[in-house]
Amino acid sequence: MDALDKLGISWQLLLSQIINFGLLMVILQQLLYKPVLNMLEQRRQRIAEGLEQADKASNAAAEAEAEKQAILEEARREAQEVRAQATRDAERIAQDVRSRADQEAQEIRMKAQADAEAQTAAVMADARRQIADLAIAATEQILGRELADRDEQERFVADYLAQQNGSGS
């Protein structure tokens, strides 16, 4: 302690200052150091949680993007199928329309042909009647007598036409 006195340091004062410094260290540690450490630890935890949440959000965004791409691909595929089905339906409908139009045209041709044949038959029947009437009139003039009933006239004309057809063939 003499050495301290030679330096001008009072040992009682030094001891009280060491005790004061120790007390100050204990008080500062309790009042400041631990709360600052707790605050730093909480901040570190918040940062770690934020990073973890950012990773989760990033993963969720990546999953959402992958799901979006899958949905878009599915929608494209379905749209292509719908387009292909619509094309097939349109082709089928067009073929049906063509078939119906062809069938109707055929029916119109057949009806026109039947009408033409009916008209031809009617014209031929009328011509035969006129020819028969002319033949009867000519026959009456040639024979000098009138064929009385219509059945007799028709038999006579039929016989005459049969003879003409038989000799003309």
Neighbours of 157 (CB within 10 A): 20
Neighbours of 136 (CB within 10 A): 19
CB 133 within 8 A of CB 150: no
Distances in whole angstroms, Cα of residue 4 to Cα of each of 1, 8, 12, 16, 17: 5, 6, 11, 15, 14
Question: Which segments of the chain are extended strands (E)?
Answer: none
Q: What is the pLDDT of residues 106-159, one digit of tens each?
A: 999 999 999 999 999 888 888 888 887 777 777 776 665 566 667 777 777 777
Q: Domain residue spans in the chain?
A: 2-168
What is the average per-residue pLDDT within 42-71? 95
Q: How far is 141 from 29, CA to CA, in rounded Å?
A: 160
Distances in whole angstroms, Cα of residue 90 to Cα of each of 51, 75, 76, 86, 142: 57, 22, 21, 6, 75
| Helices 34-143/150-168 angle, 10° precision | 100
Q: What is the pLDDT of residues 7-51, one digit of tens each?
A: 787 878 889 999 999 999 999 888 888 888 899 999 999 999 999
Neighbours of 153 (CB within 10 A): 18
Tokens of 39: 């605050």
Q: How far is 1 from 15, CA to CA, in rounded Å?
A: 12
Q: How far is 164 from 113, CA to CA, in rounded Å?
A: 29
